[in-house]
A and B are shown apart, each in its own frame.
Chain A
Amino acid sequence: MALSLTSAWTLPLNLPKAPKLEFNPPRGERVVLENGLIVYLLKDPTLPAIRINAIVRTGSVYDPADKVGLGSLTAGMLDAGGSAAYKADEIDKTLEYLGASISSSMDAEYASMSMFALKKDLDKVLDIYADSLMNPAFEADKFEILKKSSLEMIRRRNDDPGRAVMREALRNYYGKDHPYGRRTEAPGIEAITAQDMKAYHAAYYRPNNILLSVSGDYGSDEEILAKLKAKFGAWQKGEVKFPAIPAPAPAAGRQVYLVDKEIAQAFIVIVQKGIQRPDPIEIPFSLTNDVLGAPGLSSRLVDTVRSRKGLAYTVYSYYSRRNAHPGHIYAYCGTKPETYSQALEEILKQLKLAKTEKLTAEELAEARQAKVNSFVFDFKTPLDIVFQRALLEHFGFKPDYLETYVGNVTAVTPDSAFEAASRLYDPDNAMIFVIGNSKKFDKPLSEFGPVTELKED
């Protein structure tokens, strides 16, 4: 597919119109090994290095209720706890000496493990990477360190209120025990054993449950595939069963939560019901959200709350692309407590406006152009390309999602954008979560709805 990027509006400064830009999104290859391992490949010989990332189809939402954090600790032990063939200390020494790295992490809806190696070290690093992914050793002393660090992080989780507010808002929206709302707690972490991690690894870390993205200066596709087959080919496939995730049941009607804390700003999060991925409504909705307040320097929220009123440095609105039904839409703002109500009122007003009034034809045309023109930045580096394709596949998007994306954006009309926005935005029933110093508030929070006061914990 080729798309041409042009501008539909008048440029300032009387500039000549830019030449057309022909752009074909790079694809890379998709190969499935016999044991079901999916491999995305994109050769890039411009730098003498290789990057690999594995997406493992699991996620912290599948953690057992009494051992929340199991997936995260398991992932953490893959890059910290050694493997069948290599002691953990030996891995650290080898990788760090070479300037290479292997690191693993856990998201709500997938685990990932990535690797960087200079070209000259590919074989050595790939062998460690593959062994760590397939045959982790969960060394006891390393597990002790990781566990204690996790406990320490729990003790420190409220140090930065600007971050804590987001976690706590979603926790109260989805429910404190719901897989999308809960957080790790000390008793759950303490209960996790090496045996639990081994069982977890055996259940989810299977070749047929993994999407590998590979990019860089690895020679030919055949050469790297031969190496990957040699490392991963004998890995046995197995059936993976995912626990059912109950649908979240967010409370109906306006709810206001307050954590009273003497800090210089009040942090406000407004949460509304969102979409479940993949949903075709996302593209028309995202265009309205771009106009309303997607992160960046120009939107209605930035224009009103920040530029016109000088009430905030950070203000934006966004939405989740999760498998939860419903997901969430949120607006975020940090503002001084003495004027917090002005910022909050303005954000609610703008949400309401997006729900009740169509975008102007000009606003929508600009939003469409902006999305089409910036599409090229989804492909900044070779790993971006293959990782993005692998992640879209994991998330259940159609294989031609990227190829049809520009057409789908261009097809959005004022009516379809409005239909999506008016269905989804719902400020009257939004949950409002605030961390701030209520003694300095210019208006009682109760003017925004029934307030539940919470203790920071």
Chain B
Amino acid sequence: MKSLALVPVLLLCCAPLYAADGKPGETLPPGAAVETDPKYPPVVSYTLKNGLKLLILEKKFVPTVSFSIAFKVGNVDCPQGKTGLAHLFEHVAFKGSKTVNTKDYAKEKIVLDKIETAAKAMIAEERKPSPDAARLETLKKKLADLEKEADAFVLKDEFTQTYKNLGSSGLNAATSMDYTIYMVSLPANQLETLLAMEADRFKNPVLREFYRERSVVTEEQYMYATQADRTLFKELMAAAMTIHPYRNPIGGWMDDIKTLTMTDAEKFYGTFYVPNNATIAIVGDVKPAEVIRLAEKHFSGWKPSELPDTAYTQEPQQKAEKRFSLFFKATPSLRMGFHNPGFYHPDIYPLVMASEVLSGGKTARFYRNLVEGKQVALYASAGSAVSVRYPSLFTISAAPKAPHTPEELEAAIWEEIERLKKEPPTAWEMEKILNNHDADMVKGMENSLDLAQNLSLAEQVYGGWKFDWKFGEELRKVKPEDVSRAVAKYLVRENYTIGIIRPPAAAAPAQSKGDAK
């Protein structure tokens, strides 16, 4: 069920088989609770005094432990002019702490302070209306020299190398508009090392090699800029959202990235990387009571603080249909966006059903009628939301099959939208979606690391680890007429933005009279 991929699937109503060794309920400390409703897996929940939430699921197959920590902070929370900070911090969070990746932090710190002063001077020069080229060169060289000086104190890549040596799998992190998540799996005997490493990196981070990592992040943005689909999506968000920070690209605007400093990142860390803004999920061959004991030991010294107000400017109602051409060296494709009411509005359920009726598989309407039938599309796919914390966009992405044009495909998609407004889904179409939701719940339990991520995200960002299961319950209440009604309300021209990828030749004046091939 593709459109729910953003709301990662988890949970299962029929999981009697978690090999709980003995009876976890008896040995759990006060404050810990095990889920006993057989509709859900027997997740153990516990909250530390500093507000850090912990979810544990015993899953015995091979002796591994999968860890995920989700923070409710994403690019949406970056200050004005500092987009990309959430993503850059995520990168630097692999650079160690006051005791990891360093030979002598006290001495290193002196150089790090000099680096920061030099970097700020360099950025100030760069930001001048007409920077002095010679002076800028000198400042850049000074920064580079200091970075080399700092290298003398760095134990290179100790954090990642330690994980590698321990046999880690899936060590990674991801930043989205809504959240930042870190994950890793280790052999189960390394549970304490894992928790100690993770606690240390978030309690005592040192943002060493910051400006080099800023270059790495810049390269990442260049890579995305070579990808047509990603570029189209970035342009669509900026066109459709006028004021809400969802309009900013996840990795930040390039010009903002150039202004980011270690000082900015430390402030950002202090604001959002607090235990009361995080949930840890652990899935694997572990004993919950032991996990809780070790989590208390390593994470309880992490200081909480009050979280900032995150009620950002709401997006005003769209008044005009918006269209743009993205001239790009790639074959044509298109992406449509319609403002949705957000995940905390009841209309989201019929909109999810609508996206599935349109594109949930080969029996869905887009495939049957656009890929087959009219054969105008290579693919066409709808999704009810691109983000969760705030209202975002219902999107449709599609590519025409030659000789058909994007305009023909757009018209054909609109025909399906209009038809759905008039012809509610059949009972079969509705039941199919619910059955797939159930099957996805089972698939979501197969891989421990995926499951850990989904549990921590659902708890920390979406409003509770049972989010997906409850979402399924809500989908069951949707009636076919509700789907048509929601489509008629949201998938309308005055709520519509469309971007079309066209070859750069189409932008040339000589070919503007319709003779472009």
**Which residues of A have CB within 8 Å of B447?**
380-381
Complexed CA–CA distance, A264 and B227 (Å): 10
Q: How far is the CB of A278 from chain B (nearest CB, A)?
A: 24
Interface string of B110-142 (1 = CB under 8 A from A): 000000000000000000000000000000000
Q: CA separation between A44 and B428, bound complex, in Å?
A: 32
A155 in contact with B402 (CB, 8 Å): yes
Given contact pairs A5-B189, A21-B187, A23-B63, A308 touches B167 in the complex (Cβ within 8 A): no
Do residues A307 and B167 form an inter-chain contact, with CB atoms below 8 A? Answer: no
Residues in A30-80 with C-beta less than 8 Å from chain B: 44-49
Residue from B94, B209, B213, B435 with most neighbouring chain A CB atoms (10 Å): B435
Partner-contacting stretch, out of B156-164, B266-274, B508-516 = B156-164
Indicate if B193 sits at the interface (CB-CB under 8 A).
yes
A-B contact pairs, 20 of them (CB 8 A): A5-B167, A11-B162, A11-B193, A12-B100, A13-B99, A15-B192, A47-B446, A49-B442, A96-B362, A99-B437, A116-B443, A118-B442, A153-B378, A264-B222, A265-B222, A265-B226, A298-B161, A308-B156, A310-B215, A334-B222
Taking the complex as formed, is B438 at the interface, i.e. its CB lies under 8 A from any CB of chain A? yes
Contacts of A153 in B (CB 8 A): 378
CA distance A310 to B95 in the complex (A): 14
Minimum CB distance partner of A372 in chain B: B167
B115 CB → nearest A CB, Å: 14
Question: Do residues B212 and A376 form an inter-chain contact, with CB atoms below 8 A?
Answer: no
Select which of B162, B190, B399, B446 is within 8 A of A12 by beta carbon.
B162
Could you tell me if B61 and A381 are in contact, using CB atoms closer than 8 angstroms? yes
- Which chain A residue has the least Cβ–Cβ distance from B438? A99
Give the distance to chain B from A380, nearest Cβ to Cβ, in Å.
Answer: 6
A44 touches B436 (CB 8 A): no
Chain A nearest CB, measured from B452 CB (Å): 13
Q: Given known contacts A46-B61, A303-B156, A375-B167, is B189 in contact with A18 (CB within 8 Å)?
A: yes
Tell me the residues in window 133-181 of chain B with beta carbons closer than 8 Å to chain A beta carbons. Answer: 151, 156-158, 160-169, 171
Q: Is B197 an interface residue (CB 8 A)?
A: yes
Decide yes or no: A336 and B219 within 8 Å by CB, A97-B431, A374-B168 being known contacts. yes
A241 within 8 A of B: no
- A-contacting residues of B (Cβ < 8 Å)? 12, 14-15, 17-19, 59, 61-64, 94, 99-100, 151, 156-158, 160-169, 171, 185, 187-190, 192-193, 196-197, 200, 209, 211-220, 222-223, 225-228, 329-331, 360-363, 371-372, 375, 378, 399, 401-402, 428, 431-432, 435-440, 442-443, 445-448
> Given A92-B361, A264-B226, A380 and B167 touching (CB < 8 A)?
no
Residues from chain B with Cβ under 8 Å of A366 in the complex: 161, 164-165
Tell me the complex Cα distance, A376–B436, Å. Answer: 31
Assess A381 versus B446: contact at CB under 8 Å? Given A18-B193, A145-B375.
yes
Across the interface, do B193 and A21 meet the contact criterion of CB distance under 8 Å? Answer: no
Given A16-B192, A145-B375, A149-B378, residue A380 in contact with residue B442 (CB < 8 A): no
B222/A336 in contact, CB under 8 A: yes
Q: Which of B166, B228, B371, B448 contacts A373 (CB 8 A)?
A: B166
- The answer for the CA separation of A44 and B446 in the assembled complex, in Å, is 11
**List of B residues within 8 angstroms of A26 by Cβ:** 62
- What's the Cα separation between A312 and B225 when bound, in Å? 14
Q: In the complex the two chains form, is B165's CB within 8 Å of A13's CB?
A: no
Q: Which residues of A are found within 8 Å of B12, using beta-carbon distances?
A: 47
A291-325 interface code vs B (CB 8 A; 1 in, 0 out): 00000111000110011111111100000000000
The reply to whether A145 and B372 form a contact with Cβ atoms under 8 Å apart is: yes
CB atoms of A309 and B212 under 8 A apart? yes
Given B59, B212, B225, which contacts A307 in the complex, CB threshold below 8 Å?
B212
Question: By the criterion CB–CB under 8 Å, are B156 and A307 in contact?
Answer: yes
A311 close to B215 (CB less than 8 A): yes
Does A455 belong to the interface (CB within 8 Å)? Answer: no
A356 to B14, CA, bound (A): 58
Residues of chain A within 8 A of B331, CB atoms compared: 155-156, 159
Beyond contacts A307-B156, A376-B63: 13 other A-B pairs, Cβ-Cβ < 8 A, are A5-B187, A7-B166, A18-B190, A23-B63, A49-B443, A152-B399, A263-B329, A264-B223, A297-B160, A297-B163, A311-B219, A312-B216, A370-B166
A321 nearest CB across to chain B (Å): 19
Q: How far is the CA of A151 from the CA of B378 in the complex (A)?
A: 10
| Complex contact B216–A306 (CB within 8 A) | yes
Residue of B nearest to A25 (CB): B62
Flag if A370 contacts B226 (CB, 8 Å). Answer: no
Among the listed A9, A148, A370, A376, which residue makes an inter-chain contact with B375, where contact means beta carbons less than 8 Å apart? Answer: A148
Question: Inside 8 A of A100's CB, which chain B residues have their CB?
Answer: 439
* Nearest 7 CB-CB pairings of A with B: A373-B167, A99-B439, A310-B215, A374-B167, A377-B169, A313-B220, A21-B189
Looking at A13, A296, A308, the one whose CB has the most chain B CB atoms below 10 A away is A13
When C-beta atoms are compared, the residue in chain B nearest to A290 turns out to be B164
Given A45-B17, A149-B378, A376-B64: A13 touches B100 (CB 8 Å cut-off): yes
Q: Give the distance in Å from the alpha carbon of A218 to the alpha carbon of B134 in the complex.
A: 73
- Which residue from A12, A156, A335 sits with its C-beta under 8 Å from B99? A12
Distance of B76 from chain A, by nearest CB (Å): 23
Cβ contact of A313, chosen from B216, B363, B371, cutoff 8 A: B216
Cross-chain contact of A92 among B167, B219, B363 (Cβ < 8 A): B363
B438–A373 contact, CB under 8 A? no
Chain A residues within an 8 Å CB radius of B402: 151-152, 155
CB atoms of B215 and A149 under 8 A apart: no
Residues 95-131 of A contacting B (Cβ, < 8 Å): 96-100, 116, 118
Any chain B CB within 8 A of the CB of A284? Answer: no
Q: Which chain A positions have C-beta within 8 A of B371?
A: 145, 149
Q: When the two chains form the complex, which single residue of A45, A162, A372 contacts B226, counting CB atoms closer than 8 Å?
A: A162
Q: Residue among A44, A100, A313, A366 with the most chain B CB within 10 A?
A: A313
Given contacts A262-B329, A303-B157, A380-B447, contact A297 B442 (CB under 8 A): no
Cβ–Cβ contact B165 & A380, under 8 A: no
Of the listed residues A19, A265, A379, the one surrounded by the most CB atoms of chain B closer than 10 A to its CB is: A265
A239 at the interface (CB under 8 A from B): no
Shortest A275–chain B CB gap in Å is 23
Whether B165 pairs with A370 at a CB distance below 8 angstroms is yes
Q: A15 to B447, alpha carbons, bound, how many Å?
A: 29
What residues of A have a CB within 8 angstroms of the CB of B211 in the complex? Answer: 310
B63 cross-chain contacts in A, Cβ below 8 A: 21-23, 376
B432 touches A97 (CB 8 A): yes
